[in-house]
Amino acid sequence: MIAKRPARSRLRRPPGLVVVGVILVTVFCLVAIRDFDYAGARTSGSDVWVDVAHGTGAANVISSIYLGARLFDTILEVLVFSVAALGVRFYLSARGRSYEAELVPESHIVRVAVGVLLPPILLLGIYVLSYGHLSPGGGFSGGVIGASGLLFAAISLGTAHVSQRMRPPVLRWMEWSVLLGLIALAALPATCSLPLLADPLPAGRMGSLMSGGSIPLYNGLIGLKVFIGAWIVIKHFVDHRGEI
């Protein structure tokens, strides 16, 4: 009986803390939402950003900011992602390859669902990516949606099967080419004797697919980078840490 007492108290403590935490977070959220002036935040300075959007030709104001005036922030984020992928590759390579893990048999329903759902998921990724300058979305979310689709396939078909279709040498080459392409595109205005953040491509008619200047190109490159990078990271974990 003496041995059981500490075990009980250990079990009781985390839920107690969680309940207190939940109450604190709830109170914080309610206070924050009550005090935060959403209407004010939406109107203040909005004219400035609408002007920015008109300048780039992109109907999605957000994408015209992070791929326009805040382009270098975005490029640095992509660099951080690339360095993270490089770190995963570097440290996992030192561990050597994992043993041959057998594919855990998946249910028939999941296997069929992959065949049915994978094309629409990839299509959605491409849509979100290519219409990022017109509607909510962009390169990051489009790339992540595509990578999620691949992971979904990997869960039921196995990474080896998906990897064969993806051609790893081509992916490795593309991963760095895309990053170089992004940096080159960002440096293009400077080489054309334009201001640093000026767009060398025509803005086009706002609302049409061929608008937004370089923004669709950036979205495409970022989407490709995120798609390939996410897959490579997962593949390295599988190769060097075992599983699927």
Interface positions with other proteins (CB under 8 A):
1, 3-4, 7, 14-15, 18-19, 21-22, 25-26, 29-30, 33, 38, 42, 60, 62-63, 99, 101-102, 104, 128, 136-138, 140-141, 144-145, 147-148, 151-152, 154-155, 230, 234, 238, 242-244
Beta carbon of residue 88, minimum distance to other proteins (angstroms, whole number) = 12
Q: Under DSSP, is residue 159 helix (H, G, I), strand (E, B) or coil?
A: helix
Alpha-carbon distance of 148 to 144, in angstroms, equals 6
CB-CB contact of 45 with 199 (8 Å): no
Q: How many CA atoms lie within 13 A of 199 on its CB side?
A: 26
Residue 74 structure tokens: 């975005």
Contact 152, 112 (CB under 8 A): no
* Nearest residue (CB) to other proteins, 186 versus 244: 244
C-alpha closest to that of 135 among 75, 30, 235, 64: 64
Q: Least distance in Å: CB of 195 to other proteins?
A: 26
Residue 33 CB, nearest approach to other proteins (Å): 6
Alpha-carbon Rg of the chain, whole angstroms?
A: 23
Q: What DSSP assignment string belongs to 75-102?
A: HHHHHHHHHHHHHHHHHHHTT-PPP-PP
Distance of alpha carbon 82 from alpha carbon 90, whole angstroms: 12
Residue 18, amino acid? V
Least Å from the CB of residue 143 to other proteins:
9
How far apart are CB 70 and other proteins at their closest, in Å?
Answer: 13
- Which single residue is written with the structure tokens 């629409």? 120
Q: What share of the chain is helix, strand, coil (3-state, %, to 5)?
A: 75, 0, 25
- Shortest distance in whole angstroms from residue 154 CB to other proteins: 7
Q: How far is the CB of 108 from other proteins (least distance, A)?
A: 17
Extended strands (E) in the chain: none
